[in-house]
Structure 1
Amino acid sequence: MDLTLSERHRALQAALREFIARYGHLSPPVGGGGGRKRPDRKVLDWQALLIEHGFAARAVPRQYGGYGAEPDVLDAAIITEEFNKAGLSLGIQGQGIRMLVPTLLEVGTEEQRRRWIGPTIRGEVIWAQGYSEPEAGSDLASLRTHARVEDGHFVINGQKIWTSSAHFADMIFLLCRTEPDRPKHLGISYLLVPMTAPGIEVRPLPTMTGHATFNEVFFTEVRVPVDQIVLGRGEGWKVANVTLKHERMLLGDSAKLVHRLHRLRSLLAETVVEGEPLLQKPVWRDRLMRLQGEVLAAKYHQMRLLSEAAQGQAQGQAQGRDSGLGLLVVKYYGSTLAWRLAALAVDALGDAGLPYEPHDEVAEDDAATAWYADWMYDLGLIIGGGSSNIQKNIIAERGLGMPREPKINGSA
């Protein structure tokens, strides 16, 4: 991975700075409730502006509504760095854009790409992810939600849980069992289902933030045309793992870590205790510098994985690295580090954050409230998308060659 900036990269850097100087005042707030509510007009307008200039959906082909640039890791890093330094939003980062769009680009049909990618990257269609169930979390392949084919439709019955965004989503990409006679991993299909379909019931699950960011979703005789399947019947596990690859990158995204580090440094510089900014106090500065080192490690690890992906993973395989395990590291390390960054901010705020009240998501777009909301919300992300304990077990067993965890009472 060569991090030397070419003339083209320097020209991109200059264009970014010009864009920020001209349009930066139009950016919606960053952090807090952002991404945990339906995008408002300001967010949608900002997203459209970013796509137009190639700073969002940059590598999505033009025929699907994107900017159409070639994938380039340094381009992405430069964009992220300039926006983070300016304190500007990088645009919508939800499950549809970061997880479904790359999945459709990889394994979707041409009709599915043309129908869904454009509205999704523009924020017009919001997606939820229908994976986890009450008895199928870590062992996702044991899911029980099922669908039969009847009159050209899949007819779905079952339940999903911990479904982020379901209470305001337009669509859900759903795993369900369509081939009951096949082994569990081979009997699953990946369906695209409108949340307005008759028979869907959403029950919000309030969290410690005071908001219902997760949901239970019940399906009772829900009908969806048979062409709303990705790849094919019984191919859902394969598609699900394509999506999980991108989910791990989203949940542990180093761009969020870098942005949070910039915010944290500003907070410590602005918080004065006993006549001196916390940033000038050795104990606080040491804690920040330790976290900064970890954020940079996470950033360059993610850039390496993206470089390998752009080169067909040949480089990583030649060096004996498993990119799947690398993505597990991104998710585990990134989600825990994001919470620790927020935890340092909470420590710095002290009693300034104690009056936290979840009045509405808009209130979470300001200072102390945003840090407390992040601190509480990110505890859930340490569990979501594969709990840290499960991630560590897989990394230890497959990556480090350590013995498998003992099973109790002969469990599988």
Structure 2
Amino acid sequence: MKLGFSQADEHFRQECADWLNGQMAGEFRDIKGITKLTGSPERRKEWEKQLAAHRWSCIGWPEQWGGRNATLAEQVIFAEEYARAGVPGRVNHIGIELAGPTILTFGTEEQKQRFLPGIAAGETIFCQGFSEPNAGSDLAGVRTKGRLEDGEWVVNGQKIWTSLAHISDWIFVVTRTEEGSQGPRGLTFLMMPIDQPGIEIRGIRQINGDAEFNETFFTDARCPADSYIGGVGEGWKIAMGLLAFERGVSTLGQQMGFRNELDEIVAAAKANGAANDPLIRQRIARAEIGLRLMRYGALRMLSNTDHSRMDGAALTYKIQWATWRRDLGELGMDVLGQAGEVTAHRDYEWDTLPNLFLFSRADTIYGGTNQIQRNLIAERGLGLPREPRWTA
């Protein structure tokens, strides 16, 4: 396992840092430090185009599709420096990190031509249509239905927790296209334009005041017959491949964001005297150890050259970071004390650590609850007998 970077890698790191810091001190200084995904959406879309104009949008993609053919080490470095520079999260994360790699791996040449240039250019924003009111972490329980009619897929159903659907152009949707099928069988992975009469978006306001999540309703929504990725009935396979990409290089950038949060907790503890409490110091040390272990684990996970599947390390990583960050949010509030329970801002505009605490409530739920992750680890990672879920 490679734990260090070459001299050439470090030169690349400096190039990334210089460009990103220059942007955050210059034309895009107004978006630096924004933590809410819904903050300044139009400026964030302009930022996506700025990244694309300088070929920083999807550096791991092939050059012919707007990338740089960046090595794994270079992708890790860029993700780390992106977070270190205080650049806000990507509003097209779903397109760059999930939809794009899925199309590159499983899509046809025509689908690559249709979707990849717009994603790479920052002009096509994607969102994800997986979870449903009765099928959250259990993706195989989806009930949204699709049928072929006059050369088009006609889709009816509901998705929930659809991040940034209200500013997106396209949504990929797992639908049940085989009548009477259950579980992972009979699912199809469709690409659907959002701007159409059959799709309605309703926002969901969160406890931290943000509103990145949405309910998405499909009422005879349509897309062309060739809009499926993979094959008809192969939606489960494509979805599992996509979730493997979700555990990819961006995990190292995510950890740099965690580092920033932990550093802010340490600074707050020193400033208000909480660092004098031996129990607080012990919890901070435990958080530091956990963060370093996560980095080594992520590097081990990424050393697997087949990133289209989830191995044991990928399966354990989600539950590891989600539980760690939930505990970090609680540590942040304990360090702040009563001062963390009030805000000088309006409309639930919290500072970083209270916002961390509120948002981290969801970390062990979205992307697969801890309970579901344990099942996956047991069955797919350790090969234990499957828990009965559905009729074959």
Distance 1:56 1:369, change over 3 A: same
Question: Is 1:6 equivalent to 2:9 in the alignment?
Answer: no
- Following superposition, the deviation at residue 386 of structure 1 comes to 1.2
Which region of structure 1 is more displaced relative to structure 2, 331-340 or 133-142? 133-142
Measured against aligned partners, the alpha-carbon deviations of 1:300-344 in whole angstroms (never above 9, x if no partner) come to 2122222212xx47xxxxxxxx94332221211122222222322
Which residue of structure 1 aligns with residue 35 of structure 2?
Answer: 32
Which residue of structure 2 aligns with residue 336 of structure 1?
Answer: 323
Asked whether the equivalents of residues 96 and 120 of structure 2 are also in contact (C-alpha less than 8 Å), the reply is yes
Specify every segment of 5 or more residues in structure 1 that has no aligned partner in the other structure, as ranges: 314-321
What percentage of aligned pairs have identical amino acids?
34
Which residue of structure 2 aligns with residue 231 of structure 1?
Answer: 230
- Following superposition, the deviation at residue 160 of structure 1 comes to 1.7
Question: Is 1:395 equivalent to 2:382 in the alignment?
Answer: no
Q: For the residues of structure 2 that align with 1:150 and 1:21, how far apart are their CA atoms?
A: 51
TM-score by length of 1: 0.82
Asked whether the equivalents of residues 183 and 391 of structure 2 are also in contact (C-alpha less than 8 Å), the reply is no
Asked whether the equivalents of residues 332 and 353 of structure 2 are also in contact (C-alpha less than 8 Å), the reply is yes
SS of the counterpart of 1:308?
A: coil
Q: For the residues of structure 2 that align with 1:192 and 1:391, how far apart are their CA atoms?
A: 27
Asked whether the equivalents of residues 50 and 91 of structure 1 are also in contact (C-alpha less than 8 Å), the reply is no
- Count of residues in correspondence between the two structures: 388
- Following superposition, the deviation at residue 403 of structure 1 comes to 6.6
Amino acid at match of 2:8: R
Which residue of structure 2 aligns with residue 253 of structure 1?
Answer: 251
Distance 1:81 1:285, change over 3 A: farther
Specify every segment of 5 or more residues in structure 2 that has no aligned partner in the other structure, as ranges: none
- Following superposition, the deviation at residue 270 of structure 1 comes to 4.7
Measured against aligned partners, the alpha-carbon deviations of 1:363-382 in whole angstroms (never above 9, x if no partner) come to 85xxx523322322222231
Q: How does 1:15-94 map to 2 (within 5 A)?
A: 15-20=15-20, 22-25=22-25, 26=28, 28-30=31-33, 32-33=35-36, 35-36=37-38, 39-41=41-43, 43-51=44-52, 53=54, 55-66=56-67, 68-72=68-72, 74-89=73-88, 91-92=90-91, 94=93
Question: Is 1:355 equivalent to 2:342 in the alignment?
Answer: yes
TM-score by length of 2: 0.86
Q: For the residues of structure 1 that align with 2:344 and 2:93, how far apart are their CA atoms?
A: 25
Q: For the residues of structure 2 that align with 1:116 and 1:359, how far apart are their CA atoms?
A: 40
SS of the counterpart of 2:155?
A: strand
Distance 1:257 1:375, change over 3 A: farther
Q: For the residues of structure 1 that align with 2:16 and 2:105, how far apart are their CA atoms?
A: 29
Q: How does 1:103-182 map to 2 (within 5 A)?
A: 103-180=102-179
Q: For the residues of structure 2 that align with 1:155 and 1:380, how far apart are their CA atoms?
A: 32
Distance 1:111 1:394, change over 3 A: same
SS of the counterpart of 1:185?
A: coil
Q: What do you get for the CA RMSD once the two structures are aligned? A: 3.2
Which residue of structure 2 aligns with residue 241 of structure 1?
Answer: 240
Q: How does 1:230-379 map to 2 (within 5 A)?
A: 230-249=229-248, 253-270=251-268, 276=273, 278-279=274-275, 282-309=278-305, 312=306, 323-356=310-343, 359=346, 364=349, 368-379=350-361
